[in-house]
Amino acid sequence: MGWSLIRGWTLLVYVFMFLPVAVVVLLSFNASQFGSFPMTGLSVRWFVELAQNDAILRAFRTSIILGLLTAVLSTILGVLASLALVRYRVPGSNLISTLLIAPILVPEVVLAVALLLFLNFLSINKSFMLLLFGHVIFTLPFVVLVVQARLIAIRRDIEEAAMSLGASPVQTFFEVTLPLMLPAVLAGALFAFTISFDDITGTLFWKPGGVETVPTQIFAMLRNSISPEINALGTVMILLTVGLPLLGLAIARQMSAKRGR
């Protein structure tokens, strides 16, 4: 009896998690000109309108460029730091780990205010650069956590074998360590991209006037009322933010499967 109760409860929890998201997708195909029930028929007109909306396209471009740059910078910083922590005995490594994840321990609003005010003091105003700095700093801890977890799993003796067979440290890094690390690096980069792409809490503080990312664009559109376009945009976002990690997962699987052979 107890077990079926738990199962039923879990099912309800999953429904709770999925239902609102599913309704967004459903309503984005609604032919009605209001973004709500009742459904008057199926249509893709809102997606067509989306593709013709300059503001939304601009927001997409901004978000993608910002996400890519964030992913690159954050991954470089994160991978180097993780290498140091996993591969070397560093005095005070516990403290360093805590410092590296400090940006997620500080509430994002506080981080946003501090960075905005400090960089403004240094005459760096609200700009794309400020956005990029902000996104790098709060995605860094996630990259460090993900990359570190995977680096630990790479066995040191493979590198030692390469060196004992005559490879130089540099050769060993590029021919052995880097290929083995690649899934970890990609996972970190993907994570950073997704988090950056999704962010609104910090972004609203940092973005210059007139520049919108996809989440802030949605937020601005919500101020009026919920339009079918928002649901369509939501559907595209869902496809992107869910599809990308799934793709990443599949690639990582494939890569590790290949290595397993």
CB of 57 to another protein, least distance (A): 18
CB of 66 to another protein, least distance (A): 14
> By C-beta, is 101 or 158 nearer to another protein?
101
Q: Cα–Cα distance between 21 and 29 in angstroms, integer? A: 13
> By C-beta, is 13 or 163 nearer to another protein?
13
CB of 119 to another protein, least distance (A): 8
Encoded tokens for 37 = 């029930």
> By C-beta, is 82 or 176 nearer to another protein?
82
Q: Cα–Cα distance between 187 and 82 in angstroms, integer? A: 14
Instruction: Count Cβ atoms below 10 Å from residue 236 Cβ, excluding itself.
Output: 17
CB of 52 to another protein, least distance (A): 21
> By C-beta, is 103 or 183 nearer to another protein?
103
**Would you report the helix, strand and coil content of the chain in percent, each value rounded to 5?**
80, 0, 20
Q: Which residue has the tokens 């922590």?
A: 85
Q: 167 phi and psi, to 5 degrees?
A: -75, 145
> By C-beta, is 2 or 210 nearer to another protein?
2
> By C-beta, is 176 or 207 nearer to another protein?
207
> By C-beta, is 167 or 238 nearer to another protein?
238
CB of 229 to another protein, least distance (A): 12
> By C-beta, is 176 or 231 nearer to another protein?
231
CB of 89 to another protein, least distance (A): 8
Residue type, 141: P
Q: Cα–Cα distance between 139 and 78 in angstroms, integer? A: 9
Which burial class, exposed, middle or buried, applies to 115 when counting CB atoms under 10 A from its CB (0-12, 13-18, 19+)? buried
CB of 120 to another protein, least distance (A): 8
Which burial class, exposed, middle or buried, applies to 66 when counting CB atoms under 10 A from its CB (0-12, 13-18, 19+)? buried
Sign of CA dihedral 64, 66, 68, 74: negative
Q: 226 phi and psi, to 5 degrees?
A: -80, 115
CB of 179 to another protein, least distance (A): 19
What b/e readout covers 72-85, taking b as 16+ CB neighbours within 10 angstroms? ebbbebbbebbbeb
